[in-house]
Structure 1
Amino acid sequence: MTAALIVAIGLPAVVGALLLVARPRIEPAAAAIGVGTGAVTVVAAIVAAVGHAELSVPFLRADGAGDVVLRVDDLAAPMLPTVAAIALAALVFATGDRTRPAARFHGLMLLFVTAVVVTVTSTDLAVLLFAWEIMGVTSYALIGFRWRDSYRVESGLVAFVVTRSGDLGLYLAAGIAVAAGVGWDFAALPDAGGPWLTVIAAGVLAAGLGKAAQLPFSFWISRAMSGPSAVSALLHSAAMVAMGGYLLLRMEPVLAATDWAPSVTAWVGAVTAIVLGVVALGQTDVKQLLAASTSAQLGFVVLAAGAGSATGGTLQLIAHAATKALLFFAAGAWLSAVGTKKLDELRGVGRRWPVVGFAATAGALTLAGIPPLSLWAAKDTVLAAALEQSPVLYVAGLVGAVLAAAYSGRLIAVLWQHDPPEPVTDPEEAPTGRIDVRAVVPMVVLAVAAVFLGVLALPGVRSTLGLSGDVSPTGAELAVSGVLAVLVAVVAILRPPAPWPVAHRWFAMEQIARRGIAVPTMVLAAKVATVDDLLARGVDGSATALRRLTEITARADDIGVAGSVRGIADGAGRLGALARRSQTGRLHQYYLAAVALLALAVALILIPS
């Protein structure tokens, strides 16, 4: 089983890196290599999940205290195959969706999948942060994949910076965990206690909300729509956005150990489900509608984490992964075939390509929470836990579920509308007029999965997967949510609600963030930079003054000390030269000098004082 986990992590990492390094030589075979790697990864993930594999790699210390441990526990077991399967579907879809260059795309996707798999199986903050960083940087590269379009690159940067602002909380939590003396192991974090635990919980919550596109971070997910459709499908269904919710489910014991985090987490999820549900209703672009609905649906996962329902949150993640990947594939297929994402220009597209239309309809009905489809059962498990915590919280979650039925019904109405579509006046892509069968196959498979994953809510299946133990919805609760979903969806199909302009603009979230956070931050940075410039000029001035002082000192040394030494040396040389003149080597001259000196001495003696 350990070998299977090694393959699930190592194979996509190695192949992804090779595809990035070897391009463009490997370009013709890149798609086949990527799909083949994805297929092997799915098999390995299933084997690792069934066997609850564990991998321990020695690191830093010989006694095992510093080992890197990856483990497939009850929470990771259902998520690991889900991630791998959706990734394979995305890679297959990309082969039929003209995503080029294939080597760079498949290489980045495989590295992205590796980071998600490590995130799912990590057991401590150090490994989680490593995977978190790779996931963030590969998502930036994938969203801005078509880098010649400056808007797409900017969108990738917006998504990266916004999620990074939340990621700072995870770094804060890691630092505080060390300061508190509990280490980085997930199981030990609730033991921090006191203010340490409060900061750890706050940091983890910020990181999870940022990645899951929850309020106030939600607007970045709108920008993420600039990436290829296969990227949107994986990113929003089973990868980065889902990992934000998964982190909060994983850290539920940390949140529960505080007296404030569970209620805050639950209410942020419920409010996001409502607000982003309204945003989804206001969209005129199919991918923007799906993006807003992703934030809204992840709101139920966050609500589950706050309400202590790991089972409900996991069921919601799995069912939503299949459903949302399917819908993004359909949107991408229509974009390639028709050249547009605008709902008015997609009217009746389901009748034009009925297989894709029926698959997308199955996904939309699942998203609406129609009984007995998968998200109906998953969502009601979350709502049952919310009711245990607070009736008001339950009602808020139910409102979010009703909105899901409304925006899903509106999408279905567009697909099968008999009115002719508006002419495509500004195609985003050159329309092909056809949908490749390689893009259709993943949609059909995911449609079946979206419909039948509701069996995960059955008690016997839940206990087999290790998901039992949480509160289950009563028959009355199931009936209420099911009837409401059907009624609202039918009304939305028959009388689609008109877009609300403010909601269409995502309530100006990005503009508010720019003016309220980004611009003041840049102004503050400019002022701090001014101080830094003054300090730099001071340092430069000090260096200049010191250099001049050394020049003066050097000049004084040359003129004074060195000159004196040279003068003494010159004088000694002259004296030596004079002394050498008397040394002729002739004896008669020496005798004459001796007589002269003797005469001088006698004269000095005889001269009276």
Structure 2
Amino acid sequence: MPGVNALAWALPALPGACGALLSVTGRRGDRVAPAAALAVTAATLALAVTAAVTRPRASVALFAGLRAELAVDGLSAVLVITVSAVALAVLVFAAGEIHEARARFFGLMLLFVGAMLATVTATGLAPLLMAWEVMGAMSYALIGFWWRDGDRVRSATVAFVTTRAGDLGLYLAAGCALAGTGTLDLAGLAAAPRPWRDLVAAGIVTAALGKSAQLPFSFWLSRAMAGPTPVSALLHSATMVAAGAYLLLRVQPLLAATGWAATLAAWIGALTALLLGAVALAQRDLKQLLAASTCAQVGFMVLAAGVSAVAGGTAHLVAHAAVKNLLFMGAGAWLSALGTKDLAELHGAARRHRLVGVTFGVGALALAGLPPLSLWVTKDAVLSTVAERSAALHVVALAAAFLAAAYAARAGFAVWSPRDDATRDDTERSGTRRVGLLAGLPMPPMAFVAAVAGVVGVPVVFTAWRALLGTGPEPGPEGGGLLLSGALAVAAALAVRGRRLAAPRTLAGWLYLERGAVAVVWRPVTSLARALARFDDRVLDGAVRGVSRAVTVLAGWSRRGDETGVDGAVRGLAAGAARLGALLRRPQTGQVHTYFAQAAVVLVLLALVIVLVR
């Protein structure tokens, strides 16, 4: 139906167009920006629910023989609702937190939401690439929102350049897909012949790992914490960081068809969950802890894509979106109220602001994987499939789950510990000593979702969940696995209770991944660029200057030859003509008898000539 199909375009277009309009209104739109953004996001959520029911599909000719198509199927139906709901909660929170350049902030946020909705509904690499690029550009603008602060802008640049480096893989994938299959449809990538199929898989995996801050790209997420807290809550829960994991879940048949790509994704996801879990445990800054935990939790989703646990990975994505959104909002609320996000200075914060404390506590318990909360079940839905595929992967994943419980428990214990004399406020900025109504409003609903979203793991419901997504058969959470993961979570929580952790600098410094990237990639590339610039300046430009000098010399020689040769000949000809003219003027005396005498001489000479010729 045309009206239903138009919904596929309207879903990303509504927030995108309204965001673009808001972002250019300047200060004139600051007063109405929050209300307008909330109204647009609420309408977008309504459209998302309608699209999930009606499943619209729309396409338009893009290039000769290629079409751009957006469609809502089982997987994207879940994602459009998740993205829209999280965006609405974040913008309600932001309405109480952001008090400057509101039109620009809310406009950029809506543009970002529109790009993410286009990403999850794109059925081909062409519209996916367009949305992917807009999402990256908006993340740069939002992380560097406070653009007068040079450090924040540098952090935004590091995040942007790092993700852009990974994004080049998507261009490689698009080119190879077109060469190998003549189409850019995601559904047809698995049927591409070798070597195109392997090249497409390599490009997509690289782009997904970069966008989802997986090893070795994880460090950019630490830099992204320089942005406003609502940006962290949106980017790192259900949108940009989850986009890479979503893409791998979407193209899981391609990963399986190559063989090596699925194994690579599984191991990178498992190792990211393990190593970044250790990094999260070592952090003293609450937002940095949550950022590292995001890398680790997305690692479980990437692991799920590698072992074909699409239903389990998607369930974990949805549950994690609610949990991490809630935790970032809690961290932002305390930063505004108390002026700090240092774990040591947040002792007693949950007791001083009970609503934030209780909801944050629910989120921390869910993140820890404690029963019966959401991530306990969704994580086990992934682990059940991992256990069937590889014992080694299962051991690594269980260790990562143990660390997840440890870092989540550390955050929860820190904010609920009694306040002592050493605790200080305002270590980063002046706090307001209160949590605004709008900032606290979305936390209880998110806490409820974080607590009960794990119901998708109940065996009966999990079967319906697989049917909704349209995935193949895969094992769901089982009693033995749930007991094991629950016991590990409890043990880890008890292990960190009341203990001060002396973390190695390597872990506290995010495994020095940024230093490694600078040493291995950035410095060689910039050195090569400087060498090429010198080559250009000295050799190429020198050659151009040499040619210019040679032409100038030749021109001088030509000028001298012209002056002495051609000009001399012209002057000689002119002089001869002048002399001839002077001679011809002599007979012209003006006397008639002289003219008669001259005529007689001419006639005599003519007669002589005639006589001689005859």
**TM superposition score normalised by structure 2:** 0.93
Deviation larger for 280-289 or 311-320: 311-320
Deviates most, 123-132 or 540-549: 540-549
> Where does the alignment leave 5 or more consecutive residues of structure 1 unmatched?
none
Q: What does residue 378 of structure 2 align with? A: 378
Q: Which shifted more, 151-160 or 442-451? A: 442-451
Contact residue 9 and residue 70 of structure 2 kept, 8 A: no
Matches within 5 A, 1:251-400: 251-400=251-400
One-letter code of the match for 2:513? Answer: M
Q: Distance in 1 between matches of 2:423 and 2:556?
A: 79
> Is the 8 Å Cα contact of residues 340 and 346 (structure 1) preserved in structure 2?
yes
SS at match of 1:593: helix
Correspondence 1:539 to 2:564: no
Q: Which moved more, 1:261-270 or 1:465-474?
A: 465-474
Distance 1:30 1:421, change over 3 A: farther
Q: Which residue pairs with 1:12 in the alignment? A: 15
Deviation per CA, 1:364-416: give whole Å up to 9, x if none. Answer: 11101112211111111111111121112112111111111111111111111
Query: Does residue 550 of structure 2 align to residue 524 of structure 1?
Result: no
Find out whether 1:434 has 2:427 as its counterpart: no
Letter in 2 for 1:527: A
Q: Do the aligned partners of residues 2 and 584 (structure 1) sit closer, same or farther apart at CA in structure 2, a change above 3 Å counting?
A: farther
Could you tell me how far 1:427 is from its partner in structure 2? 3.0
Give aligned-pair identity as a percent: 49
Aligned mate of 1:40, from 39, 43, 50: 43
- Aligned equivalents of 2:189, 2:606: Cα separation in 1: 107
Does 375-384 or 188-197 show the bigger shift?
188-197
What CA distance in whole angstroms lies between the structure 2 residues aligned with 1:361 and 1:336?
A: 18
User: Secondary structure in 2 aligned to 1:57?
Assistant: strand
3-state SS, counterpart of residue 194 of structure 1: coil
Runs ≥4 in structure 1, deviation > 6 angstroms? 599-606
Separation in 1, partners of 2:49, 2:610: 127
**Cα separation, 1, equivalents of 2:42 and 2:564:** 83
Contact 1:345 / 1:421 at 8 angstroms: preserved in 2?
A: no
Q: List per-residue Cα deviations over 1:532-589 (Å, max 9, x = no partner).
A: 2222221222133224323432453354334424542453355345435545665433
Matches within 5 A, 1:434-583: 434-457=434-457, 458-459=461-462, 461-463=464-466, 465-466=468-469, 469-495=473-499, 497-533=501-537, 534-569=539-574, 571-572=576-577, 574-576=579-581, 578-579=583-584, 582-583=587-588
The gaps in structure 2 that reach 5 residues or longer are none
**CA contact 2:425–2:431 (8 Å) conserved in 1:** no
Per-residue deviation, 1:492: 2.6
Q: Report if the CA contact (8 A) 1:173-1:200 is conserved.
A: yes
Distance 1:570 1:404 in 2: 105
Q: 3-state DSSP class of the match of 1:408?
A: helix
Post-superposition CA distance 1:128-181 (Å, at most 9, x none): 111111111111111111011111000001111111111111111122222324
Cα distance change on mapping 1:576 and 1:363 into 2, 3 Å: same
Q: Is the 8 A contact 1:99 1:228 kept in 2?
A: no
Aligned to 1:126: 126
Contact 2:345 2:425 in 1 (8 A): no
- Paired with 1:19 and 1:547, the residues of 2 have a C-alpha distance of 58
Contact 1:5/1:44, CA 8 A, preserved across alignment: no
Residues 214-223 or 472-481, more deviating:
472-481
Which amino acid in structure 2 is aligned with residue 428 of structure 1?
A: E
Take 1:598 and 1:466, find their aligned partners in 2: how far apart are those partners?
Answer: 122
Asked if the contact 1:182/1:191 (under 8 Å) is kept, the reply is no
Please say which of residues 329-338 and 184-193 is displaced more in the overlay. Answer: 184-193
Q: 1:30 to 1:551 in 2, by over 3 A?
A: farther
Q: Is the 8 A contact 1:350 1:356 kept in 2?
A: yes
Describe the shift of the 1:558–1:464 C-alpha distance in structure 2 as closer, same or farther (beyond 3 A): same
In the TM superposition, what whole-angstrom CA distance separates every residue of 1:234-269 from its partner, at most 9, and x where no partner exists? Answer: 110011110011111112111111121111110110
> Quick one: distance in 2 between partners of 1:536 and 1:441?
63
SS at match of 2:63: coil
> What amino acid sits opposite 1:557 in the alignment?
D
Aligned to 1:104: 104
1:78 aligned partner = 78
Number of equivalenced pairs: 604
Distance verdict in 2 for CA 1:548–1:276, change over 3 Å? same
Q: What SS does the corresponding residue of 2:69 show, helix, strand or coil? A: strand
User: Any conservation in 2 of the 1:76–1:121 contact (CA below 8 Å)?
Assistant: yes
For structure 1, which segment, 461-470 or 314-323, has the greater mean C-alpha deviation from structure 2 after superposition?
Answer: 461-470
Where does residue 144 of structure 1 map in the other structure?
Answer: 144
Asked whether the equivalents of residues 412 and 493 of structure 1 are also in contact (C-alpha less than 8 Å), the reply is no
Deviates more, 1:110-119 or 1:557-566: 557-566
SS at match of 1:75: helix
Q: TM-score, normalised by structure 1?
A: 0.94
CA distance in 1, matches of 2:79, 2:324: 15
For residues 148-187 of structure 1, the aligned pairs below 5 Å read 148-187=148-187
Match of 1:8, as an amino acid?
A: L
Q: Which has the larger displacement, 519-528 or 434-443?
A: 519-528
Aligned amino acid, residue 92 of structure 2: V
